[in-house]
Amino acid sequence: MIALLIANSLALASLLIMLASGLALIYGLRDVINFGHGAIYMLGAYLGYTVALVGGFWLALVVVPILLAFLGIAFEYLALRPLQSRSHIEVALVTLGLGIILGQIIIFFYGGVARSVDAPEVLSGSVTVMNLSYPVYRIFLIVMGLGSCALLALWLRFTSSGLYVRAVSQDPSVARMMGINADRLSLLVTSLSAAFAGIAGVLAGPYLSIDPGMDVTMIVNCLIIVVIGGTGSIGGAIVAALLFGLVQVAGSVFLPNIAALVPYILLMAVLLIAPRGIGRGRVLN
């Protein structure tokens, strides 16, 4: 029972980590929360659905992130760079507007009905570990989530571009003075974050349903995670995503009546205790 609970919450957290760390990365470089991230994730899910129909799930898992990385590049060049001089709130509102536009375009092409993607043959059964039977796909999800999380951590810690990203996140002006090109890094980070959203979208297909409301649900969850984790802290976001997954899954088991409200209760509780979140995010004004 407890093992199942933890496994389920890890599966949910895996998706959330991919999205929330993408948000935190962009925030670190640009001081902007991308309110359109949910729509990018939704685009990933729908594109994944289409590509999976044509060429199968594995192809979708490769193609969609690449496509979305280009979307990220476009987002960087067409929105973030021209608006660099504007206030962060205004840019955040622009991303909100762009997210609404993208969401509506997707609904226009795919209609308002929910879709589902079948997991590939290899991942469709379930395995029995210690007398507990568990769906293989969720294990795959956990591996992907934790794997990408580990890759991200390795990149940030052991490569020079990762070092630069950390430097800009910590103090943008000093980092620029030391000769770090924040624009080029931002291009990398934005495309990376969109690609991650694409992976999350494709992975969500067989796990959750693909429906027109998924962008708002996901962005609200991610924002809760980012706030709990301490805005801009990637480590905090990862911990918060795990906590969020656990609370969400436990809520649906133990408090089915108010399960939908449990994440918000968690958010309010964290805000009461630690208004700046649990991580060591950059304190900003």
Closer residue to other proteins, CB minimum distance, 88 or 115 = 88
Decide if residue 115 touches other proteins (CB under 8 A). no
Stretch that binds other proteins, among 2-10, 54-62, 90-98, 138-146 (CB under 8 A): 90-98
Q: Which of 151, 264, 274, 280 is close enough to bind other proteins by CB under 8 A? A: 264
Instruction: Write down the least CB distance from residue 47 to other proteins, Å.
Output: 19
Nearer to other proteins, 143 or 271 (CB): 271
- Which of 25, 33, 242, 246 binds other proteins (CB under 8 A)? It is 33
SS (HEC) of the chain: CHHHHHHHHHHHHHHHHHHHHHHHHHHHHHCCCCCCHHHHHHHHHHHHHHHHHHHCHHHHHHHHHHHHHHHHHHHHHHHHCCCCCCCHHHHHHHHHHHHHHHHHHHHHHHCCCCECCCCCHHHCCEEEECCEEEEHHHHHHHHHHHHHHHHHHHHHHHCHHHHHHHHHHHCHHHHHHCCCCHHHHHHHHHHHHHHHHHHHHHHHHHHCCECCCHHHHHHHHHHHHHHHHCCCCHHHHHHHHHHHHHHHHHHHHHCHHHHHHHHHHHHHHHHHHCCCCCCCCCCCC
- Is 223 a binding residue for other proteins by CB under 8 A? The answer is yes
User: Least separation, in Å, of the C-beta of 96 and other proteins?
Assistant: 6
**Measured from the CB of residue 176, what is the shortest distance to other proteins in angstroms?**
21
255 binding other proteins? (CB under 8 A): no
Among 92, 139, 146, 163, the residue binding other proteins under the rule CB under 8 A is 92
